[in-house]
Amino acid sequence: MSEYLKPLPKPTPISRPFWEAARRHELMLQRCEACGAFIHYPRPRCPNCFSDRLEWRRASGRGTVYSYTVVRRASSRAFADAPYVLAIVELAEGPRMTTNIVATPEKVRIGTPVEVYFDDVTPDHTLVKFKPA
């Protein structure tokens, strides 16, 4: 197996539950107990009402492609394996997420329904990606 050379997430005390859940192949989102908003990416406080009463909830893993691009030439050598599909997925729970759609570009359109796909890129790192549902 070849070495994985792309940037990897470095979890913080705030975000660790998100990445640990991903390793278990679960999608977890923060939810604000004060205003009810779901939040991504993980924050120290709710960016909506600024409460610090945040809890972790398991998400459905469903969403739609809000927008996307096919990166044919990346501005980093780490992604020399372009093309790849970079997307903003709007999750069923509301928040948007930067991710990759694991599919050929022809299968991806704005509005395409997608479901979560956990990509175990190294033994210690799982990225949260999506596939057409």
Q: Summarize as ranges the residues that interact with another protein (CB under 8 A).
A: 6-12, 15, 41, 66-77, 79, 82, 84, 86-88, 96-100, 105, 110-111, 127, 129
Cis peptide before 13 (omega within 30 of 0): no
What separation in angstroms does the CA of 123 have from each of 8, 14, 17, 21, 120? 12, 22, 17, 14, 7
Of the pair 8, 35, the CB lying nearest another protein is at 8
Whether the CB-CB separation of 114 and 64 falls below 8 Å is answered with yes
Of the pair 31, 129, the CB lying nearest another protein is at 129
β-bridge pairing 62-71 and 84-91:
antiparallel
Q: Amino acid identity of 112?
A: T
Provide the minimum distance between the beta carbon of 65 and another protein in the complex, in angstroms, as a whole number: 10
**Residue 55 phi/psi, 5° resolution?**
-120, 160
Of the pair 12, 60, the CB lying nearest another protein is at 12
Of the pair 34, 71, the CB lying nearest another protein is at 71
Cα 82 from Cα 22, distance rounded (Å): 24
Provide the minimum distance between the beta carbon of 51 and another protein in the complex, in angstroms, as a whole number: 18
Provide the minimum distance between the beta carbon of 125 and another protein in the complex, in angstroms, as a whole number: 8
Provide the minimum distance between the beta carbon of 132 and another protein in the complex, in angstroms, as a whole number: 17
